[in-house]
Amino acid sequence: MSHIFTRGAMHLHEMVKGEGVYLWSKEGERFIDGSAGPICVNIGHGVKEVADAVHAQMKQVSYVHSSHFITTSVSDCAEKIADFAPDNFNHVYFCSGGSLATEAAAKMARQYYLQVGEPKRSKIIARWQSYHGNTLGALSMSGNIGRRRRYVPMLLDVPHIPPAYCYRCWYGKTCDTCDLECARALDTQIRAEGPEYVAAFIAEPYVGATLGALPAAPGYFQLIREICDEHGVLFISDEVMTGFGRTGKKWGLDHWDTTPDIIATAKGLSGGYLPLGATIASDKVFEGFSEPFAHGHTYGSHPVACAAGVAVLDYMNKHNLVQNSRVIGEYMHKKLDSLKDHPSVGDIRGSGLFSGIEFVKDKETKESYAPEVRFNTLVVDKCFDNGLLVYPGPGTIDGVRGDHIIVAPPLVASKGEVDEIIELLEKSLTEVEKEV
Ligand SMILES: Cc1ncc(COP(=O)(O)O)c(C=O)c1O
Report DSSP letters for 99-147, one per residue: HHHHHHHHHHHHHHHHHTT-TT--EEEEETT----SSHHHHHH---HHH
Residue 260 lies in a domain: yes
Ligand 1 lined by 133 (C-beta under 6 Å): yes
Please indicate, yes or no, whether residues 76 and 21 belong to a single structural domain of this protein: no
DSSP letter for 126, please: E
Please indicate, yes or no, whether residues 280 and 337 belong to a single structural domain of this protein: no
Residue 185 lies in a domain: yes
pLDDT-derived band at 10, boundaries 50, 70, 90: low
Name the residue range of residue 82's domain: 49-318
Please indicate, yes or no, whether residues 185 and 331 belong to a single structural domain of this protein: no
- 392 C-alpha to center of ligand 1: Å? 15
Q: Which of 290, 318, 346 is the last residue of a domain?
A: 318
* Backbone phi and psi for residue 55, each to the nearest 5 degrees, phi listed first: -60, -45
What atom of ligand 1 comes closest to residue 266's alpha carbon? 10
In three-state secondary structure terms, 89 is strand
The model's pLDDT over 189-201, given as tens digits with 9 standing for 90+, comes to 999 999 999 999 9
Ligand 1 lined by 97 (C-beta under 6 Å): yes
Helix crossing, 303-318 with 48-60: angle to 10°? 150
- Over residues 113-138, mean pLDDT: 98
End-to-end distance of the chain based on CA atoms, in angstroms? 34
Which residue's CA is minimally distant from atom 3 of ligand 1? 132
The reply to whether the predicted model has a pTM over 0.75 is yes
Please indicate, yes or no, whether residues 61 and 32 belong to a single structural domain of this protein: no
Residue 32 lies in a domain: yes
Please indicate, yes or no, whether residues 335 and 190 belong to a single structural domain of this protein: no
Please indicate, yes or no, whether residues 87 and 38 belong to a single structural domain of this protein: no
Please indicate, yes or no, whether residues 255 and 365 belong to a single structural domain of this protein: no
Rama region for 155: left / alpha / beta (φ>0; ψ in -120 to 50; rest): beta
Residue 6 lies in a domain: no
What atom of ligand 1 comes closest to residue 207's alpha carbon? 1
- 211 C-alpha to center of ligand 1: Å? 13
**Has residue 3 got a pLDDT over 90?**
no
In three-state secondary structure terms, 415 is helix
Residue length of the chain: 436
In this structure, are strands 123-127 and 160-161 parallel, antiparallel, or unpaired?
parallel
> What is the structure's pLDDT at 245?
98
In three-state secondary structure terms, 238 is strand
- 213 C-alpha to center of ligand 1: Å? 13
> What is the structure's pLDDT at 4?
84
**Has residue 9 got a pLDDT over 70?**
no
**Has residue 353 got a pLDDT over 70?**
yes
Q: What's the domain count of the chain? A: 2
Please indicate, yes or no, whether residues 127 and 271 belong to a single structural domain of this protein: yes
Contact 225, 174 (CB under 8 A): no
pLDDT-derived band at 5, boundaries 50, 70, 90: confident
CATH of residue 200: 3.40.640.10
- 131 C-alpha to center of ligand 1: Å? 7
In three-state secondary structure terms, 236 is strand
By most ligand atoms within 8 Å of CB, the mutation choice from 141, 240, 244 for ligand 1 is: 240
CATH of residue 341: 3.90.1150.10
Share of the chain above pLDDT 70, in %: 99
Which residue's CA is minimally distant from atom 8 of ligand 1? 98
- Over residues 92-112, mean pLDDT: 98
By most ligand atoms within 8 Å of CB, the mutation choice from 99, 135, 148 for ligand 1 is: 99
- 208 C-alpha to center of ligand 1: Å? 9
Please indicate, yes or no, whether residues 257 and 233 belong to a single structural domain of this protein: yes
Q: Which of 300, 318, 336 is the last residue of a domain?
A: 318
Please indicate, yes or no, whether residues 202 and 220 belong to a single structural domain of this protein: yes
Please indicate, yes or no, whether residues 338 and 208 belong to a single structural domain of this protein: no
What atom of ligand 1 comes closest to residue 275's alpha carbon? 10
C-alpha to C-alpha distance for 107 and 295, rounded to whole angstroms: 8
The model's pLDDT over 314-338, given as tens digits with 9 standing for 90+, comes to 999 999 999 999 999 999 999 999 9
* Backbone phi and psi for residue 311, each to the nearest 5 degrees, phi listed first: -65, -40
- Over residues 292-312, mean pLDDT: 97
Please choose, from the candidates 9, 8, 35, 23, the residue with its C-alpha nearest in 3D space to the C-alpha of residue 387.
Answer: 23
Please indicate, yes or no, whether residues 281 and 150 belong to a single structural domain of this protein: yes
C-alpha to C-alpha distance for 56 and 344, rounded to whole angstroms: 50
Q: Which of 270, 300, 318 is the last residue of a domain?
A: 318
What atom of ligand 1 comes closest to residue 97's alpha carbon? 10
Ligand 1 lined by 241 (C-beta under 6 Å): yes
Residue 202 lies in a domain: yes
- Over residues 110-115, mean pLDDT: 98
